Structure 1
């Protein structure tokens, strides 16, 4: 019986903290080199596979998508350090995040303003709402907004 070098998918999964399903998915996406197989067909994963999985996990902490991670891996595979590409990707993520934050702050201001109006109109929850104030098919507070 020959001794195997490496880990079965469940063992690698435990070592890295990534599900076996995710490992197979990364293989399908070509983020991970296809594993070798035992004579009985079980996947055997190497230290390089473990290192790659750890790289993917760390790269995801930078906010990178799997496509971006694949780009970095491809650049490195061609012999070039991908750090300049990483800088561009992270800067783009920062810019996108700043834009989303601005949108969220604006939305919060708008919602706070609308809430204040609703709260003013409904200040006494024991009083039934007046159809004159809340004209609309469902809720005039929503339908009256331009």
Structure 2
């Protein structure tokens, strides 16, 4: 059995993170000691490690909750259910990457157009582009 601090240390997180996962119904202590300390089992540790790995690959708390629900009821779910969750997340990441690439391209264009000198910003090409060509900048950033 682990107390909260022991489990947190074993998983390289802090106690508050563990409490946060409890508060969000991702994990709960298996029992409490006579003095009221939260007690966790080896199974709880494995669940916490699952949560941390899922978080590290980008799943949200709601998505992790759904994955845990499938994990607990594997027999009632298909591999396709899990794959669908991953594929949905992958599509969202790909959309975000495309958006970030558009941002990068636009920012690079703005940066390259500016001399970056010490003179007054009265004729700064970046500010001029944002003032006069707002529609083009907005268009470049929209999906």
* Residue pair 1:76, 1:82 contacting (<8 A) in 2 also: no
Q: What is the rounded CA distance, in whole Å, between the counterparts of 1:59 and 1:116 in structure 2?
A: 39
Which residue, 72, 95, 99 being the options, matches 1:103? 99
Q: SS state of the match for residue 96, structure 1?
A: helix
* Residue pair 2:54, 2:64 contacting (<8 A) in 1 also: yes
Is 1:89–2:89 an aligned residue pair? no
Q: Deviations over 1:33-77 (max 9, x none)?
A: 334111111111111111111111122233211111111222333
What is the aligned partner in structure 2 of residue 65 from structure 1? 60
Over 4 Å off, 4+ runs: 128-131
Change (3 A) 1:145 1:36: same
Change (3 A) 1:71 1:145: same
What is the aligned partner in structure 2 of residue 3 from structure 1? none
What are the within-5 Å matches in structure 2 for residues 9-28 of structure 1? 9-28=4-23
Is 1:118–2:80 an aligned residue pair? no
* Residue pair 1:32, 1:53 contacting (<8 A) in 2 also: yes
TM-score by length of 2: 0.75
RMSD (Å), alpha carbons: 2.6
Change (3 A) 1:117 1:59: closer
Q: SS state of the match for residue 44, structure 1?
A: strand
Number of residue pairs matched by the alignment: 131
Unpaired runs of 5+ in structure 2? 135-143
Higher helix residue share: 2
What are the within-5 Å matches in structure 2 for residues 19-58 of structure 1? 19-58=14-53
